[in-house]
Amino acid sequence: MVNPAEIDSLKHDLAAEAARLGFAACGIAPAEEDALAAQRLEQWLGDGQHGDMAWMAARAHHRRSPQGLWPDARSVIALGMSYAPAHDPLALAGDGERARISVYAQGKDYHDVVKKALKALARWLVAESTKRGLGEAGVKVFVDTAPVMEKPLGQAAGLGWQGKHTNLVSRDHGSWLFLGAIYTTLGFAPDEAEADHCGTCNACQTACPTDAFPAPYQLDARRCISYLTIELKGPVPLEFRKALGNRIYGCDDCLAVCPWNKFASDAAAMRAFVPRAELVAPKLAELLTLDDTGFRALFSGSPIKRIGRDRFIRNCLYAAGNSGDPGLIGPVDALLADPDPVVADAARWAKAELVHAEPAEEKERRGAEG
């Protein structure tokens, strides 16, 4: 029989080890199914609000609960790693010369950073469990690449609550947490779930440039700029292209306006997520010239590399079309005959937008030169 005092002691030390490894938040959630979370998942998928993310539906039966994915799981160790920015994520709004990259993608790839820390914590847990006579602990680690509902688990473990923008909000770290989880066969006592503290605030709802929230606590991914610039493989629907503005990878608007961010400190952020200088305010003119080799070199070690050169250039072309900068017509022209049809389509759209926004005298000058 497991000694309750020993496993409680291990839980206490686990939190300390998690902090040592760089996690800003740690809590325990039950591994059983959360009926409400499972029902919301089914409704979201049934309404088609996951868009082209077919993998969300394909493994929904595993995603419903930790034990649905791994029947031996008894506890979930939910963890959060801060990437709170030192600068204003909205500072480049409306800047026609510069592109906006979501804060989370300006540093090292969080998949690699968080998973490395999760694996280290899991190894520590296995060793400590054996050392303390609790037997060999089974563990599985997850960060954003498996059918795991990290946000409901994070709320159940007391890390924060799912805000009206559907992301986790922490009273200590605002909306700036990367989430990971360790499923284990150890039966830790669960922590108290966090209550909702959004109140009457609707800042995130009104900040969304594409009206991606049908209602508070509901997200239609098909309208979300993060989905459109990262997950969507084809052309972005015409109705959303102007709303993209100069956002070329992700969107921080609904996160950045959350008032709970005032309690977040960039001092709590992992150093690995400190932005690379060249990704904080990159020039569109330079990004538009990237070929596949240049793209891979610039975004080595970055999550941006995952979408590939073609999708990235597509996004940059939409931003160019929204820039109102006739100086970008040259780089856009060079992409009109791009081998990728989606890139070529984006180039034609951007060219038309830029020519339309061009002053009459400039059009006459270019016409005379042509």
Which pLDDT value is given to residue 266? 83
The answer to whether 166 touches 198, Cβ cutoff 8 Å, is no
User: For residue 55, what pLDDT band results from cuts at 50, 70 and 90?
Assistant: confident
Pick the catalytic residue: 13, 144, 325, 345? Answer: 144
What per-residue string of b and e applies to 73-112 under the rule 16 or more CB within 10 Å gives b? Answer: bbbbbbbbbbbbbeeebeebeeebebbbbbbbbbbbbbee
Q: Distance between CA 97 and CA 319 in Å, rounded?
A: 9
Q: Distance between CA 171 and CA 352 in Å, rounded?
A: 46
Per residue in 41-53, pLDDT (tens digit) is 999 999 999 999 9
The DSSP annotation for 321-354 comes to: HHH--GGGHHHHHTTTT-SSHHHHHHHHHHHHHH
Q: Distance between CA 47 and CA 143 in Å, rounded?
A: 26
- Is 144 part of the annotated catalytic residue set? yes
The tokens describing 137, both together, are 């602990």
Return the ∠ at Cα 32 (arms to 27 and 34), rounded to 5°.
85
The alpha-helical segments, DSSP class H, found in 163-307 are: 203-207, 225-226, 238-241, 253-256, 277-280, 284-287, 292-298
* Among 73-82, 151-160, 175-184, 263-272, the least confident range: 263-272
Per residue in 318-333, pLDDT (tens digit) is 999 999 999 999 999 9
What per-residue string of b and e applies to 7-28 under the rule 16 or more CB within 10 Å gives b? Answer: beebbeebbebbeebbbbbbbb
Residue 367 has pLDDT above 60, yes or no: no
The DSSP 8-state label assigned to residue 77 in this structure reads: E
The tokens describing 249, both together, are 């990878």
Is residue 162 within a helix (H) or strand (E), and if so which, with residue range?
Answer: strand 161-162
Q: What Å distances lie between residue 255 and 228, 271, 279, 367, CA to CA?
A: 17, 21, 19, 45
Q: How large is the average pLDDT for residues 210-215?
A: 98
Residue 310 has pLDDT above 70, yes or no: yes
Residue 141 has pLDDT above 60, yes or no: yes
Q: Distance between CA 313 and CA 16 in Å, rounded?
A: 44
Q: Distance between CA 160 and CA 263 in Å, rounded?
A: 13
Residue 139 has pLDDT above 80, yes or no: yes
43 CB-near residues (< 8 Å, 6+ apart): none
Q: What is the mean pLDDT of the chain?
A: 94
Q: pTM score, two decimals?
A: 0.93
Q: Distance between CA 143 and CA 113 in Å, rounded?
A: 10
Q: Quickly count: other Cβ atoms within 10 Å of residue 341's Cβ.
A: 11
The answer to whether 27 touches 159, Cβ cutoff 8 Å, is yes
Per residue in 148-175, pLDDT (tens digit) is 999 999 999 999 999 999 999 999 999 9
